[in-house]
Structure 1
Amino acid sequence: MEVRREIVTAIIVDGGFYRKRAHALFGEKTPNQRADELVEYCRRHIRKSHAALYRIYYYDCPPSERVIFHPLTRKHVNLRKSAEYRWMAEFMRELTKRRKVALRRGEELETQHGYMLKPEPLKKLCAGAITISDLSERDFLLDITQKGVDMRIGLDIAALAENGRVNQIIMIPGDSDFVPAAKHARRSGIDFILDPMWATVTDSLSERIDGVRQCMRRPQHATGCGARYRKQRGEHLVFEGRLGRLSPNVCCMRCRVVGGEQMECDQCPGHWSQ
């Protein structure tokens, strides 16, 4: 009789990618809540595979402590004193407390950092639709390039493929830089699965994996769709982005309470596919 081999899974998470997608899909959360959400999201993959979890590898760059000049306000901004710094530092501390989570830290690129205009206001400025006096601080984003994360991901995938401790790798990716590592893992007999969290997968990466798995239903507003309607008690209720106020019982800003009852959006945990 054929004996089924136990599936042992390692999960690789590109932190910068996950944080952006999680914010778009699940809304703003505290560092503790985001850490719990990440672990639960990964464990849904384990349950889908009926597997044993080897480890969750999380790769991210620590928050910057630099003092950076803002071109609009003409003031120096101490990033260490910012709310974003405090949130990120606490989030990384929370991850170190979670069982089976390995935190891999990248580094900040020394020669490239600063504020830059977002694409949309930059287009308007170049087209003459707005002037510099029309710009606000919200039109700028902080551009800090990290290094070492991609290299660490590639090395860990190669090590997992060589030591034979896992036979499945699930990756929550950021870009296609991991194609060589994914190719090497598959050659070693590892089942390599991608979870892009409904983001676009490049052709070069999709050719080098064994499959794509989503752990949640296709989102509506997070992919640019318009308002949607949901029937409740004979009424059509309209949801358009961030309507309504955040209730303690509502898990993201896109959910709201209507008539005293929580109305969840498609991508909140209560609607994740089982």
Structure 2
Amino acid sequence: MSQRTVAIFVDAGFFNRIFAKKVDPEMAMDPSELAKKMWHYWVKHVDRKNGESLYRIYYYDCPPLKVKAHHPITDQMIDFAKSDITQYKTRLHEALMRQPYVACRMGHLSTTDSEWGFIRKDKTHNFKKIIRGEVDPKEINPDYVSLRPRQKGVDMKLGVDITSVVLKKLANKIILISGDSDFVPAAKLARIEGAHFILDAMGRNVKGDLAEHIDGLKTFARNLKSYPDIA
């Protein structure tokens, strides 16, 4: 493989939390527009001027919640299948699948291992500040509180796909957008097989052994506050 072919692997739970907070903190953007901005961020990792080409973008997430549960603040029964959050995430997944070269790889949500938390954090909706008594619980907006089950199967799919792409010589440059040290085995194998392994930790500190088994760090997250509009 003479020219550099790039495969991009996106840990959605990690990427969305940082990207959306900077680009669309109020969740006011249409999902199709957000999907385009996400795609344009990812393809920045492909250096076309120096002959690189994109093989595929793998996006790892879980389907939205579709269970019923009592809200911890209002005590109202919530049907998450009909919630605005579920509808928004469903539309986002559909929009992403329409983007060029994108493959959405879905895990599943645990029905037993879950807890309530904030959808987006701000000065008021911050668990640590509430514990310290710096925020009046009455100021909490119930719409900012949601059930947050743990994802299952996502990390495994991501690791297996990196291994498969590298061993089949489908790409010789791997971009991983994540901050999870669980991907150390996949990173080590990619480098042993001769692929370059670049990590985009979105400006966050790299945890664990992952920093020792990559060929470099590269991110465009610092420019997200002034992210340009896309026609």
SS at match of 2:161: helix
**Equivalent residue pairs, number:** 218
Q: Is the helix fraction higher in 1 or 2?
A: 2
Structure 2 contact 22–225 (Cα < 8 Å) conserved: no
In structure 2, the CA distance between the partners of 1:75 and 1:144, relative to structure 1 (3 Å rule), is same
The 3 A distance-change label for structure 1 pair 269 and 112 is same
1:104 aligns with 2:105: yes
Instruction: Say if 2:220 is the partner of 1:268.
Output: no
1:65–1:176 CA distance, 2 compared to 1 (3 A):
same
- Superposition RMSD in Å: 2.4
What residue in structure 2 maps to residue 237 of structure 1? none
* Structure-2 separation of matches of 1:178 and 1:158: 11
What letter matches 1:198 in structure 2?
Answer: G
1:200 deviates by 2.1
The SS at the match of 1:56 is strand
Specify the code of the residue in structure 2 equivalent to 1:9: V
After the TM superposition, which residues 103-122 of structure 1 pair with which residues of structure 2 at under 5 Å, given as runs?
103-116=104-117, 118-122=126-130
Which of 152, 164, 167 in structure 2 is aligned with 1:162?
Answer: 167
Give the TM-score normalised by structure 1: 0.72
Q: Which runs of 5+ in 1 are unaligned?
A: 220-264
Distance 1:6 1:136 in 2: 52
Alpha-carbon deviation of 1:202?
Answer: 1.6
* Contact 2:63-2:106 at 8 Å conserved across structures: yes
2:111 aligned counterpart, secondary structure: strand
TM-score normalised by L of structure 2? 0.84
Q: Runs ≥4 in structure 1, deviation > 3 angstroms?
A: 129-136, 138-141
Q: Identify which range, 190-199 or 139-148, moves more after superposition.
A: 139-148
Identity of aligned residues (%): 33
Residue 59 of structure 1 aligns with which residue? 60
Match of 1:239 in 2: none
Corresponding residue number in structure 2 for 1:30: 30
1:20 maps to amino acid = R
Q: Deviations over 1:182-236 (max 9, x none)?
A: 11111111100011121222242111100001235x35xxxxxxxxxxxxxxxxx
Question: In structure 2, what is the Cα distance between the partners aligned to 1:56 and 1:177?
Answer: 20
